[in-house]
Amino acid sequence: MITMAEDNRSILFSRERIAQEVKRIGQEISRDFQDQEVMLVGVLKGSFLFIADLIREIEVPSVIDFVRLASYGSGTQTSGIIEFRKELEMPIRGRNVIIVEDIIDSGYTLECLYNKLLLQEPRTLKICTLIDKKARREVEIEADYVGITMDDGFIIGYGLDHDEKYRNLPDIYVVDEE
Ligand code: IMP
Ligand code: MG
């Protein structure tokens, strides 16, 4: 059971820390793709704030598109079943595609998306995540750009939800699981 009363959560990553990591990733991408164009593919809904901040830190020409995947019910454990609720609208063939995720946990969601996009023959296909729960990975998938690595724990805020709530919190909180 997760209780979400305000005294059951504490700030894990402040908005200042997040902004600092987003800026760093933006610089890394701008450096890696100097004189090229990148296409950011945001995974809705969780990445909407991250991608909005990230694209403003990228100095090379950028285009953006979104997919919507769902793997979680209302619990905090992945079901392992990934559903595509919204497909890409732009072709990715020949483009420098960067998948932008809020968080990688087991890795099932990303593996599924990665393999699907690979079939469409992008020029390059990279993975960018704000949060990496590396220790919880169940499939072999590595992000090329990582904001913050963390161990276990369920977090909310800055796009991350619990039961669709708390995405609006400007900082990231860890929640006491009871
Ligand atoms: P995976 O398929 O297990 O890697 O799950 C990834 C997805 O689960 C993320 O895109 C999030 O939507 C969700 N998720 C995983 N951990 C958390 C968390 O701590 N807080 C909120 N959502 C999470
Ligand atoms: Mg997500």
- Give 16-65 pLDDT, tens digit per residue: 999 999 999 999 999 999 999 999 999 999 999 999 999 999 999 999 99
Mean of pLDDT over the chain: 92
Atom number of ligand 1 nearest to Cα 154? 19
User: 96 is in which domain, residue-wise?
Assistant: 19-175
Is 39 inside a domain boundary?
Answer: yes
The residue from 53, 102, 105, 132 that is catalytic is 105
pLDDT given for residue 83 in this prediction: 82
Is 161 inside a domain boundary?
Answer: yes
Atom number of ligand 1 nearest to Cα 137? 4
Is 153 inside a domain boundary?
Answer: yes
> Which residue, judged by its Cα, is nearest atom 15 of ligand 1?
105
Q: What is d(CA 95, CA 91) in angstroms, rounded to the nearest whole number?
A: 8
pLDDT given for residue 1 in this prediction: 57
Is 25 inside a domain boundary?
Answer: yes
Q: What is d(CA 4, CA 174) in angstroms, rounded to the nearest whole number?
A: 10
Q: 26 alpha carbon to ligand 1 midpoint, in Å?
A: 22
The CATH number for 139's domain is 3.40.50.2020
Tally of domains in the chain: 1
Atom number of ligand 1 nearest to Cα 80? 2
The answer to which of 1-10, 43-52, 112-121 has the lowest mean pLDDT is 1-10
Asked if pLDDT for residue 7 goes beyond 90, the answer is no
pLDDT given for residue 148 in this prediction: 98
- The mean per-residue pLDDT over the stretch 133-150 comes to 95
User: Is the CB of 132 within 6 Å of ligand 1?
Assistant: no
pLDDT band at 10 (very low <50, low <70, confident <90, very high): very high
State pLDDT tens for residues 56-101: 999 999 999 999 987 755 555 556 678 888 999 999 999 999 999 9
Is 6 inside a domain boundary?
Answer: no
User: Is the CB of 114 within 6 Å of ligand 1?
Assistant: no
Is 8 inside a domain boundary?
Answer: no
pLDDT given for residue 6 in this prediction: 75
Q: Which residues contact 174 (CB under 8 A, 6 or more apart)?
A: 9, 10, 12, 153, 154, 155
User: Is the CB of 154 within 6 Å of ligand 1?
Assistant: yes
Asked if pLDDT for residue 115 goes beyond 60, the answer is yes
105 is known as an active-site residue = yes
The closest of 127, 99, 5 to 43, measured between CA atoms, is: 99
Is 14 inside a domain boundary?
Answer: no
Is 37 inside a domain boundary?
Answer: yes
